[in-house]
Amino acid sequence: MQFAPLFPIIYRILQPAFPGCLWSGDRNTKVIALTFDDGPHPQYTPELLAVLDHYNITASFFWLGACVNRHPSIAQAICDRGHWIGLHGYDHRSFPILSPTELKDSLEKTQVAIYNACNLPPAKVRDVRPPNGLFTPKTLNLFQQWKYRPVMWTVVPEDWVRPGVSQVVQRVLQQVQNGSLIVLHDGACGGQDVAASVQILIPQLLQQGYQFITVDALWQQLEVIDKVKIK
């Protein structure tokens, strides 16, 4: 059973309960963030980069530390293009099953891998997307203590089960709206179709007037909105 149609409903329910997460950007501006999990991959990520280069799109990548260690040159190629980098754990184990020590170790090992590959200091890589989107209040409390920023998503086409390029494209176009965080995968599960999916999606989204920005830019948007509310 595929759950893609249910994800928007699930996250609308969860979002108010976990306000410290980044779920979306400003709903009043026509900007979206294109994000990719589970890489870098030796075949799928370069194919994806070629499409992003063609359209001059800056995206955000949430990496597995083990994959960065295996493919440091691809990681560096992503950084060199100015894409935003976040953490997805070292080896895709769900965060709630890890002890606090194991979780901290997973994140720090990934930061070290990124530093070794890209010379990005750990203080610059603080955004975390939990594998499988699974977290608990305890997990989020730990992120806050350790000064990480939890990032979720709003558009989930469930590309990791490989429903087909046309299905992925259709799901994204049906769900996208102002401020959307779109999650796709350039790793072993789903990466086979990611370049083809993005090749179709980007021009259609551009035609609809959307501007692509990074996860960091979405955070900055929300900070501005919060300051305005305080005033």
pLDDT digits (tens, 9 = 90+) for 81-132: 999 999 999 999 999 999 999 999 999 999 999 999 999 999 999 999 999 8
pLDDT digits (tens, 9 = 90+) for 20-46: 889 899 999 999 999 999 999 999 999
Instruction: Dig out the tokens for 176 from the structure.
Output: 């996208």
Tell me, yes or no, if 38 is annotated catalytic.
Answer: no
Single out the catalytic residue among 37, 159, 186, 193.
Answer: 37
Instruction: Return phi, psi of residue 150, to 5°.
Output: -75, 135
What DSSP letter does each residue of 73-99 carry, written as one string? HHHHHHHHTT-EEEE--SS---GGGS-
Single out the catalytic residue among 41, 71, 83, 185.
Answer: 185
pLDDT digits (tens, 9 = 90+) for 57-75: 999 999 999 999 999 999 9
CATH 3.20.20.370 fits 23-230, yes or no: yes
pLDDT at position 17 is: 61
Q: How confident is the model at residue 226 (pLDDT cuts 50, 70, 90)?
A: low
Instruction: Dig out the tokens for 159 from the structure.
Output: 């590309």
Per-domain residue ranges of the chain: 23-230
pLDDT higher than 90, residue 51 = yes
Residues sharing a CB contact under 8 Å with residue 205, sequence separation 6 or more, in sequence order: 32, 173, 176, 212
pLDDT at position 132 is: 87
pLDDT higher than 80, residue 18 = no
Tell me, yes or no, if 216 is annotated catalytic.
Answer: no
Q: How confident is the model at residue 13 (pLDDT cuts 50, 70, 90)?
A: low
Q: pTM for the whole thing?
A: 0.93
Report the sign of the C-alpha dihedral through residues 73, 127, 87, 42, in that order. negative
Instruction: Return phi, psi of residue 127, to 5°.
Output: -80, 135
Dihedral angle of Cα 166, 169, 171, 175, to the nearest 10 degrees: -160
pLDDT digits (tens, 9 = 90+) for 164-215: 999 999 999 999 999 999 999 999 999 999 999 999 999 999 999 999 999 9
pLDDT at position 12 is: 64
C-alpha separations of 36 from 41, 49, 78, 155, 178 in Å: 11, 11, 12, 12, 19
pLDDT at position 10 is: 62
pLDDT at position 1 is: 44
Cα separation, 182 vs 119, in Å, equals 27
Cα separation, 77 vs 173, in Å, equals 29
Q: How confident is the model at residue 222 (pLDDT cuts 50, 70, 90)?
A: confident
